[in-house]
């Protein structure tokens, strides 16, 4: 079975600074998708960014970008110009291409200091 590991339970960043959240995964599959989801306190989980494994180019969405290292099975999320609204739990997730079954990491709580 696939596993997703987020080794940083909690991180803090100063407003306007940059922070990187780490994620590693274990799989024997070659085709899959990776996601970062954000869950603000007491609010709905929303998708931040996604990456297709067959694409070498790293995905970017405004201030959010990923560093996808397929050989190393690493998928980190970089948040630039951090804002107070970025404070949330961030979950890394894996989905194989053939099955609509997601595997989530344990999450990283991001604190943003004003």
Partner 1 sequence: KAGVTQTPRYLIKTRGQQVTLSCSPISGHRSVSWYQQTPGQGLQFLFEYFSETQRNKGNFPGRFSGRQFSNSRSEMNVSTLELGDSALYLCASSLAGGLGEQYFGPGTRLTVT
List contacts with partner 1 (CB under 8 A): 33, 35, 37, 43-47, 50, 52, 91, 95, 99-107
Two structure tokens written together for 111:
């604190």
- The least CB distance from residue 15 to partner 1, in Å, is 27
Please answer whether residues 64 and 48 qualify as being in contact, where contact means their C-beta atoms are separated by less than 8 angstroms. yes
CA distance 21 to 7: 9
- The least CB distance from residue 34 to partner 1, in Å, is 11
Nearer to partner 1, 77 or 82 (CB): 77
CA distance 64 to 20: 10
Q: Which DSSP category does 1 fall into?
A: -
Nearer to partner 1, 62 or 100 (CB): 100
Nearer to partner 1, 16 or 47 (CB): 47
């Amino acid at each position: 079975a696939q596993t997703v590991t987020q080794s940083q339970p909690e991180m803090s960043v100063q407003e306007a600074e940059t922070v990187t959240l780490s994620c590693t995964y274990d799989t024997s599959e070659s085709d899959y998708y990776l996601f970062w989801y954000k869950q603000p306190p007491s609010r709905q989980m929303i998708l931040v960014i996604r990456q297709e494994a067959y694409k070498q180019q790293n995905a970017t969405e405004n201030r959010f970008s990923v560093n996808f290292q397929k050989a190393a099975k690493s998928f980190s999320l970089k948040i630039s110009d951090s804002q107070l609204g970025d404070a949330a739990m961030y979950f890394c997730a894996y989905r194989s291409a053939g099955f609509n079954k997601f595997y989530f990491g344990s999450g990283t709580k991001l604190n943003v200091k004003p």
